[in-house]
Amino acid sequence: MSGRGLERAGGQPLWKQLQHDLVRRLRAGEFADAFPGELVLVEDYQVSRHTVRQALSQLRADGVIVAERGRQPRVATAPEIRQPMGALYSLFSSVEASGLTQHSTVRALDIRADGVIASRLDLEGSSPLVYLERLRFAGDEPLALDRVWLPATLAEGLLEADFSHTSLYHELAERTGLRLDHGREDIRAVTPTAAERALLHCPADAAAFSINRVGHAQGRKVEWRHTLVRGDRFALSAEFSAHQGYRLTPATTTNPLG
């Protein structure tokens, strides 16, 4: 198809219109296999290569696409490398950095309904949810209690997964194609209940992080998560600068056993 309409007298510059249209088509899944080259876009939109390049340069600056010499631009496989992010990613990567082995005990993996959680995922109260509860270990000691709810319509395929050694995000991407692209989390400092203390083998006076999190993928809320992390074994570590903003770093000292 040629002659895609761009408002030539519109209020916005051509390259910006082109940029937005490309993002729109990208989200619609049009470029799943290959991103069109510059000359194709020139022909398609009937604009100069200069304009196309200006639009693409913006997309590249935003990390949406990756381009190299002599090679067609490709859609950036961003979420694979820069990852799920957030405090939880920091937690698990810091465990890995410390050399301790990670594994989980699956305490529950089933489908259930929960009106409160469902509403937090913008679902009807009776909507079925995949529920996964794990006790995560670093070395031989428990580190965190992790509970996740996902819409069953999206995540039903997870029921057959073995979560004792793989991560939720890996299975989610593998089995449903969903990758979290953004989210929001609240981190609180709490005192664990006696039951939680027993489960996590906490010392009596230990505090804990309580992390609530909503994860989005492709415009939908796909997970509501609550994680309780032993405060005596984990610290959030971050660097901040005017240039690079706030970045969690995995250099956290996960005490090698207590």
Give the separation between CA 232 and CA 214, rounded to whole angstroms.
Answer: 25
Under the binding rule (CB under 8 A), the answer on residue 87 touching a copy of itself is yes
If contact means CB under 5 to 8 A according to the sort of partner, which of a copy of itself, DNA, none does residue 67 touch?
A: DNA
Helix H or strand E encompassing 186: strand 182-190
**The tokens 């619609």 sit on which residue?**
28
- Residues at the site binding DNA, with contacts judged by CB under 7 A: 13-16, 37-39, 47-51, 53-54, 56, 67-73
Coil/strand/helix, residue 142: strand
- Looking at the Cβ atoms of 52 and 91, the one nearer to DNA is 52
Helix H or strand E encompassing 174: helix 168-176
Under the binding rule (CB under 8 A), the answer on residue 23 touching a copy of itself is no
Give the separation between CA 161 and CA 148, rounded to whole angstroms.
Answer: 14
If contact means CB under 5 to 8 A according to the sort of partner, which of a copy of itself, DNA, none does residue 29 touch?
A: none
State the minimum distance, in angstroms, from the CB of residue 71 to a copy of itself.
Answer: 18
- CA nearest neighbour of 94 among 254, 257, 255: 254
Under the binding rule (CB under 8 A), the answer on residue 194 touching a copy of itself is no
If contact means CB under 5 to 8 A according to the sort of partner, which of a copy of itself, DNA, none does residue 231 touch?
A: a copy of itself
If contact means CB under 5 to 8 A according to the sort of partner, which of DNA, a copy of itself, none does residue 248 touch?
A: a copy of itself
With CB under 8 A, what is the number of residues at the site for a copy of itself? 44
Under the binding rule (CB under 8 A), the answer on residue 195 touching a copy of itself is no
Give the separation between CA 59 and CA 24, rounded to whole angstroms.
Answer: 12
- Looking at the Cβ atoms of 199 and 206, the one nearer to a copy of itself is 206
H-assigned helices in 11-121: 14-27, 38-45, 49-61, 78-81, 86-98, 115-120
- CA nearest neighbour of 104 among 66, 67, 138: 138
- Contact between 93 and 231 under an 8 Å Cβ cutoff? The reply is no
- Looking at the Cβ atoms of 127 and 167, the one nearer to a copy of itself is 167
If contact means CB under 5 to 8 A according to the sort of partner, which of a copy of itself, DNA, none does residue 70 touch?
A: DNA
Single out the segment in contact with a copy of itself by CB under 8 A; choices: 94-102, 149-157, 161-169, 176-184. 176-184
CB neighbours of residue 143 within 10 Å? 25
Interaction site with a copy of itself (CB under 8 A): 61-63, 78-79, 82-83, 85-87, 181-191, 205-209, 229, 231, 235-243, 245-249, 252-253
